[in-house]
């Protein structure tokens, strides 16, 4: 896999428009009238399916996490809590053996009860090369994982089933964030029987079954996913009867749908914040996720492989101005790859401040006094920011061509290492620097 490095970064702010939930069809009797409570959410289609062992899309996770669950989860304060297990695992003195007890009476929506064998199968599927899982980095410290990934084993030696409700996981070495990793979407537990029967179709259509509060009623993989309440959910009743996820690849179409009342909730691009503040101020909600938006540069690409070119790109960008004008203040200029809410973030670290003259000098030292041409493959959602970046880079002699593609193409090209330059937002799933730093910078 090609290694990437960030040069421009902004601490992300998420902005959403939220209207009142819609009422579904009513059913009446002589005595009662009930209306379904339905939330319709507009989002981009990542084109990756809903199998979170394969997808790394936050959009896919927002759907999958309503259907499938991990052993633990994070609450609204980013504190972990047990979901499918009775309590936090017991850990051996050397920090390598974790002992778990599953809750009894937890059922998948196909009617089968959750057992230790399903958890074991889930992790063995993850490490089976044919699965093509993108999430193995976060669990590769489990004993036997590397042997499976190399094709030298078909069973995970570090997973011991004690009985239907008790199991142990042994690590090759002590790893402090391990339990936190178990609370991510990548560790959602699948039913062995149903997953095997679905085969390669798992995560597409209605082929996703879990223990979560909702189940998939319909999914055409292209325009809409409809989830309905799991009446037998082990966590009790939930407030909404149905969740509808409608796909829109461009922000403008999505916002028109919101204004027309076709959806109740939609992400709002920062570039349109001022426009909507005047007309929808009561419907705008913002929060700062654990994310960083940045330019991702492929170090194997021509020009970009030169460190002076990368420094020149960074020096050419006026982050303060970009956040204030293009993003309408919806963000914070980053001084680190780590979001400022994550332990380990250090504001005292020096960054390459905006200095176009220094950028030109570095390009000349690299042998490109006449400038260079680069192409960025980006998604529609990043166009406004990249239009501004195009202007900044042109001032120092870097001509940037923008190639806008749909989400499915972008995800495919990224996975294949075909992107020389693109825009990304990396959202940490919990406040621990290892989650971001290991994935992006560990190269052994």
Residue 263 resides in a domain: no
DSSP string for residues in 287-319 = E--SEEEEEEEETTSTTTTSHHHHHHHHHH--H
DSSP class of 380: G
Closest CA to 100 of 158, 44, 145: 158
Closest CA to 229 of 238, 221, 203, 335: 238
Give 342: exposed, middle or buried? Use CB within 10 Å, 0-12, 13-18, 19+.
buried
Encode 107-122: b = buried (16+ Cβ within 10 Å), e = exposed. Answer: ebbeeeebbbebbbbb
Contacts of 222 (CB under 8 A, 6+ apart): 45, 247
Instruction: Decide: helix, strand or coil at residue 331.
Output: strand
Residues 1/298, Cβ–Cβ less than 8 Å = no
Positive or negative: CA dihedral 242, 243, 246, 252: positive
Q: Are residues 79 and 200 in the same domain?
A: yes
Per the listing, tokens 């179709």 go with: 201
User: CA-based angle 426:427:433, to the nearest 5?
Assistant: 90
Which run of H or E residues covers position 22?
strand 22-28
Q: Are residues 29 and 171 in the same domain?
A: yes
Range of the domain at 128: 20-229
Q: Are residues 26 and 61 in the same domain?
A: yes
The pairs formed by 412-415 with CB atoms below 8 angstroms and a separation of 24 or more are: 412/47, 413/377, 415/134
Q: Are residues 24 and 8 in the same domain?
A: no
Q: How many domains does the chain have?
A: 2
Instruction: Decide: helix, strand or coil at residue 391.
Output: helix
Q: Are residues 213 and 299 in the same domain?
A: no
pLDDT in tens, the chain (444 residues): 233 333 445 544 555 666 655 544 333 333 444 689 999 999 988 788 999 999 988 889 999 999 999 999 998 888 899 999 999 999 999 999 999 999 999 999 999 999 999 999 999 999 999 999 998 989 999 999 999 999 999 999 999 999 999 999 999 999 999 999 999 999 999 999 999 999 999 999 999 999 999 999 999 999 999 999 999 999 999 999 999 999 998 888 998 999 999 999 988 777 777 778 778 878 888 777 778 889 999 999 999 999 999 999 999 999 999 988 888 888 888 888 888 888 888 888 777 899 999 999 999 999 999 999 999 999 988 998 999 999 999 999 999 999 999 888 998 898 888 999 999 988 777 778 887 777 777 766
In sequence order, what are the beta bridge partners of 174?
A: none
Q: Are residues 417 and 400 in the same domain?
A: yes
Q: Are residues 336 and 413 in the same domain?
A: yes
Q: Which of 229, 259, 278 is the last residue of a domain?
A: 229
| CATH code at position 325 | 3.10.105.10
Q: Which of 209, 229, 249 is the last residue of a domain?
A: 229
Bridge pairing between strands 398-405 and 33-43: unpaired
Residue 130 resides in a domain: yes
The Cα 373–Cα 309 span in angstroms is 11
The Cα 88–Cα 99 span in angstroms is 9
Closest CA to 168 of 136, 137, 140, 142: 142
Q: Are residues 223 and 308 in the same domain?
A: no
Q: Are residues 221 and 168 in the same domain?
A: yes
Residue 120 resides in a domain: yes
pTM, whole model, 2 decimals? Answer: 0.78
Contacts of 14 (CB under 8 A, 6+ apart): 267, 286, 287, 288, 289, 291
């Amino acid at each position: 896999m090609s290694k990437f490095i960030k040069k421009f970064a902004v601490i992300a702010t998420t902005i959403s428009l939220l209207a009142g939930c819609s009422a579904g069809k009513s059913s009446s009797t002589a005595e009662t009238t009930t209306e379904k409570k339905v939330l319709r959410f507009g989002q981009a289609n990542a084109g990756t399916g809903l199998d979170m062992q394969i997808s790394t899309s936050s959009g896919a996770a927002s759907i999958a996490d309503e259907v499938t669950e991990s052993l633990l989860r994070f609450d609204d304060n980013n504190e972990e809590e047990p979901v499918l297990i009775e309590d936090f695992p017991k850990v051996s003195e050397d920090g390598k053996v974790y002992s778990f007890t599953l809750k009894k009476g937890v059922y998948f929506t196909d009617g089968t009860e959750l057992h230790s064998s399903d958890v074991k199968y889930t992790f063995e599927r993850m490490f089976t090369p044919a699965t093509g899982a993108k999430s193995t980095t976060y669990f590769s410290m489990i004993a036997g994982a590397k042997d499976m990934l190399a094709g030298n084993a078909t069973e995970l030696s570090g997973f011991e089933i004690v009985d239907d409700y008790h199991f142990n996981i042994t690590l090759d070495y002590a790893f402090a964030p391990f339990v936190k990793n178990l609370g991510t979407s990548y560790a959602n537990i699948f039913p062995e029987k149903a997953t095997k029967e679905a085969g390669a179709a798992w995560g597409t259509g209605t082929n996703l079954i879990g223990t979560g509060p909702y189940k998939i009623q319909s999914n055409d993989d292209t325009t809409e996913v409809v989830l309905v309440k799991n009446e037998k959910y082990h966590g009790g009743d939930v407030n909404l009867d149905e969740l509808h996820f409608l796909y829109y690849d461009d922000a403008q179409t999505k916002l028109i749908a919101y204004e027309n009342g076709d959806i109740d909730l939609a992400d709002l691009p920062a570039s349109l914040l001022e426009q909507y503040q005047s007309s929808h101020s009561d419907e705008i909600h913002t929060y700062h996720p654990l994310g960083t938006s940045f330019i991702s540069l492929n170090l194997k690409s021509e020009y970009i492989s030169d460190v002076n070119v990368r420094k020149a790109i960074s020096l050419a960008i006026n982050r303060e101005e970009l956040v204030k004008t293009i993003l309408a203040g919806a963000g914070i200029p980053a001084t680190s790859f780590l979001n400022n809410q994550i332990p380990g973030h250090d504001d005292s670290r020096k960054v390459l401040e905006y200095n176009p003259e220094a950028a030109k000098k570095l390009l000349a030292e690299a042998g490109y006094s006449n400038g260079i041409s680069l192409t960025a493959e980006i998604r529609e959602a990043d166009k406004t920011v990249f239009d501004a970046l195009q202007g900044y880079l042109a001032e120092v002699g870097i001509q940037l061509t923008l190639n806008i593609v749909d989400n499915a193409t972008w995800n495919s090209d990224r996975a294949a290492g075909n992107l020389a330059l693109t825009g990304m937002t990396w959202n940490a799933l919990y406040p621990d620097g290892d989650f971001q730093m290991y994935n992006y910078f560990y190269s052994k």
